[in-house]
């Protein structure tokens, strides 16, 4: 898709509500910066427009090349990639916060205004977090073994998963 202002490829797709009706814009990065940069007339606005918020995100955000590089990174424990996180909005395990810390921090500050959790924690979480991480890793390894048609290895991993789950179930009763 081409930019609506010039003939470059459109990399930004912006939906703006005008009088309650969606207005879609397809812009290249350069035109998006021009569109989203607040003009002198808009400086008097108390409430920032959606364009200003997106402009702020562009300033903090990644270039297309950096984003493509980042999307290929994955967690060594659960195997989730940053691309999967961006698509699903969910991380795979607690270690993802460490693995993607540098890239998640601006997002967390923008959404929550804080990077430290302040609130309730489930009682079982503290003792089961490491166990849960191990289960995630084992399930990923089992899936990879099946994909590689290493069925003997997959069955060993399945048995190990069952053993951990049974131990956990007995502890919860």
Q: What is the pLDDT of residues 68-107, one digit of tens each?
A: 677 778 888 888 888 788 777 788 887 888 888 887 888 8
Instruction: Name the residue range of residue 131's domain.
Output: 125-172
pLDDT, position 63: 62
For residues 77 and 98, state if they share a domain. yes
CB 94 within 8 A of CB 59: no
Q: How far apart are CA 63 and CA 61, in angstroms?
A: 7
Yes or no: say if 104 and 75 are a contact pair by the CB < 8 Å rule.
no
Q: Report yes or no on whether pTM surpasses 0.75.
A: no
Q: Is residue 146 situated within a structural domain? A: yes
Inside any domain, residue 17: yes
* pLDDT of res. 38: 53
Q: How would you class 14 by CB atoms within 10 Å of its CB: exposed for 0-12, middle for 13-18, buried for 19 or more? A: middle
pLDDT exceeds cutoff 90 at 118: no
Mean pLDDT of 159-169: 88
What tens digit of pLDDT does each residue of 8-66 get?
Answer: 888 887 777 677 777 788 888 888 878 776 554 444 444 444 444 544 554 444 566 66
Cα–Cα distance for residue pair 37/53, rounded to 1 Å: 10
CA 43 to centroid of chain Cα atoms: 32
Domain membership flag for residue 40: yes
In a domain, 2, yes or no: no
For residues 105 and 141, membership in a common domain is answered with no
Task: Specify whether 107 is located in the same domain as 136.
Answer: no
pLDDT band at 134 (very low <50, low <70, confident <90, very high): confident
Residue 119, domain member (yes or no): no
- The answer to whether the CB of 4 falls within 8 A of the CB of 14 is no
Q: Do residue 56 and residue 78 come from a single domain?
A: no
Pick the more confident residue, 70 or 2: 2
Q: How much is the pLDDT for 160?
A: 93
**Considering its fold, how many domains does the chain have in total?**
3
Q: Is residue 5 part of a domain?
A: no
User: What are the distances in angstroms from CA 32 to CA 14, 56, 61?
Assistant: 9, 12, 13
Inside any domain, residue 3: no
What is the dihedral sign for C-alpha 73, 109, 36, 21? positive
Q: What is the dihedral of CA 104, 107, 109, 113, to 10 degrees?
A: -130
Say if 65 falls within a structural domain. Answer: no
């Amino acid at each position: 898709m081409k930019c609506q202002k010039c003939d470059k490829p459109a990399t930004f797709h912006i939906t703006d509500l005008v009088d309650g009706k969606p207005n879609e814009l397809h812009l290249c990065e350069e035109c998006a910066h021009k569109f989203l940069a607040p003009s002198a007339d808009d400086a008097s606005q108390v409430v920032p427009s959606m364009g200003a918020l997106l402009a702020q995100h562009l300033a903090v955000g990644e270039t297309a090349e950096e984003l493509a590089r980042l999307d290929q990174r994955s967690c060594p424990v659960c195997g989730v990639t940053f691309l999967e996180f961006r698509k699903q909005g969910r991380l795979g395990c607690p270690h993802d916060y460490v693995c993607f810390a540098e890239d998640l921090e601006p997002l967390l500050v923008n959404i929550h205004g804080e990077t430290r959790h302040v609130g309730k924690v489930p009682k079982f979480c503290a003792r089961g977090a490491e166990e849960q991480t191990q289960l995630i890793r084992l399930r990923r390894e089992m899936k990879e073994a099946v994909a590689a048609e290493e069925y003997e290895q997959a069955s060993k991993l399945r048995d190990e998963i069952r053993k951990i789950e049974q131990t956990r179930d007995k502890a919860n009763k």
